[in-house]
Chain A
Amino acid sequence: MDSPADIRCHELVELVTDYLEGALDDAARTRFELHVVACRGCANYLEQMRATAELVGETPDVEADPEQLDELLEAFRGWHRRTLEES
């Protein structure tokens, strides 16, 4: 029997991206929506994620400055080396 309790809040968090991208099958989508109707916390979370996805979708791609990109990559490699040495 379909129920809002078929999925839990922490499971819904894992599914929200697939839901917004229309990637859930009909049964999973129904379980997701049944939970959201009854759970205000998850309804708020879904709306925040929807708004975030819309805003990010409107942000233009920015070309990174090659020098800054090299500095960032070097900083990351240094961090990665130190992490390996310490482990």
Chain B
Amino acid sequence: MRAFKFLRPGGVGLFSQTRWPQPNGVPGAWVRASAGDPALCRAGVHACAVEHLPFWLAEELWEIELEAPVAPRRSKLVAPAGRLVARVEAWDEEAALAFMAETVDRIRGLDRRGYVAEAEIFCTGDAAREDPFGNAALSTMIAVEAAEHAGGHDAVRAERATEVAWLADRLAIA
């Protein structure tokens, strides 16, 4: 199954700190979840369907092939093994900044003063450019909290759906 995975620069796992073998004309080597290594999740290799992308924003986005059986969870996919297929080059600093700008606009629209202030401090101007990927992730947290205060679970679902649609369109991965 084809899915997506966010990694740190150099293809490093966000939490496992595993350096993923990169494709070189052919897919990278398979990485298998390790039951004995507490740094790796015992449940399996984690990846994203398109609807999971906003939960895990980071510097590099990769297309990944997952070994069956793939278990869908609310915020991720879990599989016994995976291998990187290709980098999604459209996810870059410019895309992260554009994503963040639109997210901040929606936060402003929710008109919750504390959240607007927090978003404007960290997710606009020079502060946003200091760490575009980290602050793009932060903008989603602020947006979800603001949405929950403004309109409860329905507003949170609407915010997540908007983020997913933006990423799918911008990255052409729908």
Query: Residues of A with Cβ closer than 8 Å to B?
Result: 1-5, 20-22, 26, 29-30, 33-40, 43
Chain A contact residues: helix, strand, loop or mixed = helix
Beyond contacts A29-B41, A30-B75, A40-B138: 16 other A-B pairs, Cβ-Cβ < 8 A, are A2-B55, A3-B148, A3-B156, A4-B137, A4-B144, A5-B141, A5-B148, A20-B38, A30-B73, A33-B14, A34-B56, A37-B14, A37-B55, A37-B137, A38-B138, A43-B134
Give the docked Cα–Cα distance between A53 and B102 (Å). 40
Give the docked Cα–Cα distance between A34 and B42 (Å). 17
Residues from chain B with a CB closer than 8 A to the CB of A20 are: 38
Count B interface residues, CB 8 Å: 27
B38 touching A37, Cβ below 8 Å: no
Residues from chain B with a CB closer than 8 A to the CB of A29 are: 41
Asked whether any CB of chain A lies closer than 8 Å to the CB of B58, the reply is yes
Give the docked Cα–Cα distance between A3 and B153 (Å). 11
Residues from chain A with a CB closer than 8 A to the CB of B148 are: 3, 5
Residues from chain B with a CB closer than 8 A to the CB of A37 are: 14, 55-58, 137
CB contact list, B25-75 vs A, under 8 A: 38, 41-43, 55-58, 73-75
A40 touching B55, Cβ below 8 Å: no
Contact of A4 among B41, B141, B157 (CB under 8 A): B141
